[in-house]
């Protein structure tokens, strides 16, 4: 199983004319977890990732994989799987054919394309022309390309953007499994809410500068605790919770309970014999902290 190597940005800086796209960014991204690289549009995420992948030359500083820049990796596709822009594939060729060309060029095993297509759930469509693929299938194919060399590091720019709820759930599980295997997983997003169920750690940049680094929970500074809960018999659920002394309000998709812990609400419903269809602790503090850190200008 491939063991991830750390990604290291050291004093990474890039200016385009008088625009400081990335300024003195120093941070290490560890293997074995999913790290979110967050910031509003224009914060400098894509430029940082492009420097990491050797597509843009830094004005100063370095971006390396275990100390080695991308351009000097012995077998780049086996070390790093990346998907930056929405990948463009020739519409007349099949998914397997596309991947086979890259696999052959990189000296990967003949089985690599089918293995990658299986990982992203496209095996049944391997021979179909890419022109007939839906947007979601194209995104899966982009990811299959990133996974082609069974890499120990994954670098994905906005991988969740534009996916439907089923696709989001799927990619979340895939990325978490990759990290659990010991790989290094870095994903960018301009929306905290989009990745907050996927990432362990966050790196937040704004105007090209690092503004926060830490576990996701380090952003949760809210002292108001809300629980969102749902059941088929929502009226009875609300009544049981209200009788236990909680303040309850109705949402379109459930019941919102103020100043509560999810575990306690779960116990109340269980004791009353009400099967729940949903139960989550609302972490309103995260988004607020994120907006404060990035100056509230972007993110939405």
Task: Give min distance, CB of 38 to ligand ATP, in A.
Answer: 9
- By the rule CB under 6 A, 42 interacts with ligand ATP: yes
Among residues 19 and 263, whose Cβ is nearest to ligand ATP? 19
- By the rule CB under 6 A, 81 interacts with ligand ATP: no
Among residues 56 and 120, whose Cβ is nearest to ligand ATP? 56
Residues 157-216 that bind ligand ATP (CB under 6 A): 190
Listed ranges 40-48, 120-128, 179-187, 227-235: which one lies at the site for ligand ATP (CB under 6 A): 40-48
Among residues 16 and 270, whose Cβ is nearest to ligand ATP? 16
- By the rule CB under 6 A, 300 interacts with ligand ATP: no
Among residues 189 and 228, whose Cβ is nearest to ligand ATP? 189
Among 16, 67, 261, 297, binds ligand ATP (CB under 6 A): 16
Task: Give min distance, CB of 37 to ligand ATP, in A.
Answer: 9
Task: Give min distance, CB of 245 to ligand ATP, in A.
Answer: 45
Among residues 39 and 151, whose Cβ is nearest to ligand ATP? 39
State how far the Cα of 272 lies from the Cα of 287, in Å rounded to an integer: 33
Among residues 46 and 196, whose Cβ is nearest to ligand ATP? 46
- By the rule CB under 6 A, 21 interacts with ligand ATP: yes
- By the rule CB under 6 A, 41 interacts with ligand ATP: yes
* SS3 readout for the chain: CCCCCCEEEEEEEEEECCEEEEEEEEEEECCCCEEEEECCCCCCHHHHHHHHCCCCCCCEEEEEECCECHHHCCCHHHHEEEECCCCCCCCCCEHHHHHHHHHHHCCCCCCHHHHHHHHCCCHHHCCCEHHHCCHHHHHHHHHHHHHCCCCCEEEEECCCCCCCHHHHHHHHHHHHHHHHCCCEEEEEECCHHHHCCCCCEEEEEECCEEEEEEEHHHHCCCCCCEEEEEECCHHHHHHHHHHCCCCEEEECCEEEEECCCHHHHHHHHHHCCCCEEEEEEECHHHHHHHHHHCCCCCCC
Task: Give min distance, CB of 190 to ligand ATP, in A.
Answer: 5
Query: How many residues belong to the site for ligand ATP (CB under 6 A)?
Result: 12
State how far the Cα of 114 lies from the Cα of 267, in Å rounded to an integer: 46
Q: Which residues of the chain form contacts with ligand ATP (CB under 6 A)?
A: 16, 19, 21, 39, 41-47, 190
């Amino acid at each position: 199983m491939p063991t991830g190597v750390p990604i290291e940005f050291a004093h990474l800086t890039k200016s385009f004319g008088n625009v400081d796209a990335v300024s003195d960014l120093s941070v290490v991204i560890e293997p074995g977890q999913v790290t979110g690289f967050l910031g509003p549009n224009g914060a400098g995420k894509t430029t940082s990732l492009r420097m990491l992948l050797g597509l843009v030359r830094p004005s100063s500083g370095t971006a390396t994989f275990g100390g080695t820049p991308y351009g000097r990796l012995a077998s780049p596709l086996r070390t790093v799987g990346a998907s930056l822009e929405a990948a463009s594939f020739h519409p007349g060729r099949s998914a397997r054919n596309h991947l086979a060309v890259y696999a052959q060029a990189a000296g990967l095993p003949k089985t690599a394309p089918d293995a990658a297509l299986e990982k992203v759930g496209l095996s049944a469509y391997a021979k179909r022309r890419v022109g007939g693929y839906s947007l979601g299938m194209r995104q899966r194919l982009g990811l299959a390309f990133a996974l082609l060399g069974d890499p120990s590091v994954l670098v994905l720019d906005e991988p969740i953007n534009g996916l439907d709820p089923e696709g989001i759930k799927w990619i979340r599980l895939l990325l978490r499994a990759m990290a659990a295997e010991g790989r290094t997983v870095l994903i960018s997003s301009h929306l905290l809410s989009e990745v907050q169920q996927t990432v362990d750690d966050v790196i937040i940049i704004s105007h090209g500068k690092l503004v926060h680094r830490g576990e996701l929970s380090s952003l949760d500074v809210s002292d108001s605790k809300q629980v969102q809960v749902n059941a088929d018999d929502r009226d009875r659920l609300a009544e049981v919770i209200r009788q236990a002394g909680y303040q309850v309000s109705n949402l379109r998709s459930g019941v919102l309970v103020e100043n509560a812990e999810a575990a306690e609400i779960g116990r109340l419903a269980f004791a009353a014999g009400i099967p729940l269809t949903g139960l989550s602790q609302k972490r309103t503090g995260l988004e607020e902290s994120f907006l404060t850190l990035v100056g509230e200008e972007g993110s939405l």
